[in-house]
Structure 1
Amino acid sequence: MNRRIGKLCVTLLLCIGLTGCWDEVTIQDLYYFTAMGFSYDKQAKEYELYGQVIDVAAVAQKEEASSSKSNSVFGHEKGESPSIALDRLFKAMQMNPVLDHMMTVLLDESSIANLDELLDGINRNSAIRYTINVLGSENPIGDMFQTTGRISTSPLNTNIYQPNSNKRGLPFTTNNDMRDLVRAYKSCPCTVYIPKLKLNENHWVGNDGKRLRTPIFDGAFVLNNGSYAGKFTEKQLEGARWFMGSTHGQTITLKKRDRIASVLQVKRSSNDYHFGKSPTPSMKLKLRVRAILTEYDKNLAENEIQELATKEVIEQIESTLRLARSRGVDLFNFEGHIYRYHHARWKKMKSGKTNFAELPVELDVKVHLIHSGKMKMRKS
């Protein structure tokens, strides 16, 4: 018994000399990649990689929030493949690079055509998970990583890192992570939307008189049947947004005799597809929108507002349908729906080389005012 107690005492004494984790690395001794961007030079057949590195320790300190000090830098390198470019950039770094905190991948238009190779190169890295954001960029990637004049000095408080945070400025689709992209791109002949960012310097000015350059969402890059189909603006996609995108917080502007009559804000919407097989294949689109009044013309009755709003939404959908047919792009993902729910018929239509963007469409749209409080306020 005494021998056991002696051994225990010796062990405890030895533990005093231990200093904790022998392989501990301080946060300042690591380079944390938080975002990457890719561009492709078709002539040189090279990828250009951009990597943004953020000083995590500085961002985490509350006192830095009111400082003008920059907490991020970015670097770039070229290579015949994404992994070669990344390896070359790693070799040029002064401290150990870490990809465990990657949050976003930005793709410009030139790289979308090489999406297969990009996805393969990115997802083979075990540190990068399928929950990272995948976004498009209308501007050069380097410019996106040099956004200036942030209202909050943390570089993490932008649409690049938090795309779904501003409910009034949501991207075209809020299903914008790597998992959603791969599932839609690889598992079915679905239409894929990659939300597109562009730099905006038209709205905010700092105390120094300089305009703020901030990234905002405007439309999307579209892939159709596994191929890049082009970029589309927010205005061009407003009809497809009711079925393919996010609608919460969107406004419906009503006009009467070429002047604004009322403005509605969407609180929620629901949609449904119905595939008609005979006499010829066709689609029926059902949409129900619930909205509130934000601006009101006292000369309009509630039923008139609902009728005008329904007409406006129908015009938006019909406009995007015309655009889809003119460019041969299935912007409403009709093929994806038929593939999932009417597979046998899809195979027959596919073998007959059906252009799904040209299917006849019937619309069933209704807009309902949740409440008319502002109308009652004006009348009192």
Structure 2
Amino acid sequence: MDYLSSITSPTLLIDEKICRANIQRMAEKAKRHGLNLAPHWKTAQSRMIGEWAKDYGITEISTSSIKMAEYLSGQGWSTIHIAFPFNVREIPRLNKIATDQSISVQVINPVTAQRLVDELAVPVEFFIEIDAGYGRTGVSVADFGLIEEILLIAKKSDKLNFKGFYLHAGHSYYMPDIPALYEQTRNALEMLKNKYSTEYPLLLTRTGDTPGCAVMEDFGEIDEMGPGNFVFYDLMQEKLGGCDKSDIAVALAVPIVDINRERNEILVHGGGVHLAKDVLLEADGSNNFGEVVYLNESGWEIPEVQNRSYLKSISQEHGIIKASDALMNVAEVGQLLGILPVHSCMTADAMGGYLSLDGKIIDHCEGSHADK
């Protein structure tokens, strides 16, 4: 019995071969540039996929929450970094997990630094997150006063240990000139390393956005990279030039529930609660919530450009496909189609698990099977 016969409702499929190839390619790139690869596991959120990553020499990872760090701890990772401005209300949980697992956190203000100094029971390392233009979070790259205030507070404790500077150039998702952006990133981290390496000779610098890590070949003096989306990729990354559609490792299997042949539209069971609502714009200004692929026993087939079909609208449970003539000719009620996601991180989080092409359930931190 092939994996498709077991599917009755929206199911997130994962092609292990593609996923492994993505991990291997980024691991080889990091090695080629002398960088440590510590991928951000906010995309995969999976212990099993973590085991695949270890096959390519990856020994440490990042998470976006302490919950995810708890889920992945005890799995043989040398270090787990929580790549989110640390929430001081979770210090008791941090103390518990850091007892048996090497953990680092992100600090962006003196209040958090002081609370950690006062309340840590076990040693924890920290990065200072730097903002060099993204504007979401972090200490301004030129705010040496704030940087040094955080460092001075940390010196009061033997529990809170400075590890280095972390910079997520998230604006690479919407700024077309990635080389110029990365020059900004390199310059910022190199300046900080030069300024503070005398006092902290072991300090590290890390950057982490997938668009930049996928396309750039000049990382300057940066020590580590921590991209996340590259494990699966998605249509957004393809649009940015970081991958091809054939590199996308996940597809949402959705059943056809109705066909409107007058409008060349297909109604599927698959909506916002499955894909999230990230969207791309078509050339005519219409919305694209995901593109159709044809499922088969060995995975999926990407249609030729002239036969492309896509989700034009979604609601909570429903999706409407703007279908090509080629798709209309073969579509049947009850048939399964695959949807390549616009943003695989959000789709994976919404679905909370994966089905491999050999019919195995692959875990996810948010899944009902996950340890609570």
TM-score, with length taken from structure 2: 0.22
Larger Rg: 1
Q: Going by fraction, where is strand more abundant, 1 or 2? A: 1
Greater relative contact order: 1 or 2 (C-alpha under 8 angstroms, separation 6 or more)? 2
